[in-house]
Chain A
């Protein structure tokens, strides 16, 4: 079985799952809001961007800038997309979690974008 050698922190895993879940709508504000709705915890914008940068440095996500938008005061969005390495990382994390949670609770299977 192939496994990536990248270790994901809790917030990294959370953000990576959210990028996967939001698919084409994965950008800073949407990711932050989705995490807040699901976990009830509001991470700072700074923490989120630092994490996204780390994920991109690890090659788990890629990004591109959209056209400037009025709703953002004329600034563009940076859209994030899960890479193949990122998807493998999520599967590894899931397997690891499942092996630890085996027989203890409900299984979690992330939907990859």
Chain B
């Protein structure tokens, strides 16, 4: 053996810094049958490297390295100890072989799960990023090792390289003060990636106040518009549309699909702004005379030229509208006899003291002979 014992000397010495997890490493090496003097040599070296790694990559990753290195050293050091002991104590051989089988398994597991050095920088959406916010935004990029393990990205540094002027901090906080495209370089050591920024600052988002959908019919597009500070429409958007109650309606891309009668809401969030739409979902029926408070009903309307259809409704407060397909300009006209009504956007809000009659009729100023189709929606409000 090349190592001489210093255990009596060490016993009297206070061990201050660094606080490497030496007890863990010592346990692993001791289980593997490594001589205590060798353990002291190895752990001394590892304590020095641990302190250096703590300063460089932080305590958590340094601890990971320490554990990994302890396990990685077991086969070499353990085999050395095995050879030495087998010469003097053959009965220990089987036990030590068992220990090495376990240690080898641990080493394999540690190798498979250990993070390697950064190998790639990857960005979402192939590095194409639409920025609608007028406020500072944190860019994000993924750092992965060769095995695909995600690594911390806090050391990535960012720099504007071309395009419209965009304020970019070294840490990746950007501010899009004007519309245009820019390129930002993200770098970590020798690794780098390019981010293509599409600055489209949005100053306001407005969605339709209320929309109606019918269970069993096609989904309808949620209408909204985003505008910049000068009021011009912004079409390149990266935002979120969400539905509050998915038992009432769900999203299909930007279209709303009715699932059950009732009321819910949709929210459109773009950049720093959001807009809210009340979504009314209607149940299809043939007659309206049995409608009760809170109920949402819809009837299909098909009118030949000069034709008129009527539906009786009980006394109450109502919201009514006639809808056609999104691309149809001409629609059946709506009137309510026996009620006081006012137009609210595309709807009528009506109050009927007595039973009233809803009338759908073919517009008189339409000269062609084609039938008109649509859907009459009616929501009887709570009394």
Contact = CB atoms under 8 A, between A and B. Distances in A.
B125 interface: no
A27 B45 CA distance: 8
B286 interface: no
Range, interface on chain A? 20 to 34
Contacts of B48: 29, 71-72
A50 B72 CA distance: 13
Interface stretch (B14-22, B142-150, B252-260): B14-22
Contacts of A9: none
Q: Which residue, A50, A69, A72, has most C-beta atoms of chain B within 10 A?
A: A72
B44 interface: yes
Interface in B72-109: 72-80
A74 B76 contact: no
A105 interface: no
A44 B69 contact: yes
B4 interface: yes
Interface stretch (A14-22, A52-60, A87-95, A96-104): A52-60
A65 B16 contact: no
B126 interface: no
Interface centre among A27, A28, A46, A70 (most CB of B within 10 A): A46
Interface string B2-19: 111010011001111110
Interface string A28-67: 1100110000000000111101101100110000010100
Interface of A is mostly: helix
A53 B42 CA distance: 12
Interface in B41-56: 41-49, 51
A71 B6 contact: no
A110 interface: no
A76 interface: yes
A82 to B, nearest CB: 15
B141 to A, nearest CB: 25
B2 A73 contact: no
Contacts of A50: 76-77, 79-80
24 contacts: A28-B41, A28-B42, A32-B45, A33-B49, A44-B76, A45-B46, A45-B69, A45-B73, A46-B73, A46-B78, A50-B76, A53-B2, A53-B80, A65-B4, A68-B6, A70-B16, A70-B17, A71-B48, A72-B44, A73-B44, A74-B15, A74-B16, A75-B40, A75-B43
The 9 closest A-B pairs by CB, nearest first: A46-B73, A46-B76, A74-B15, A75-B44, A72-B44, A28-B45, A29-B45, A44-B72, A56-B2
Given A27-B45, A50-B76, A73-B15, 9 more contacts: A49-B77, A50-B77, A50-B79, A50-B80, A68-B9, A74-B10, A75-B15, A75-B43, A76-B6
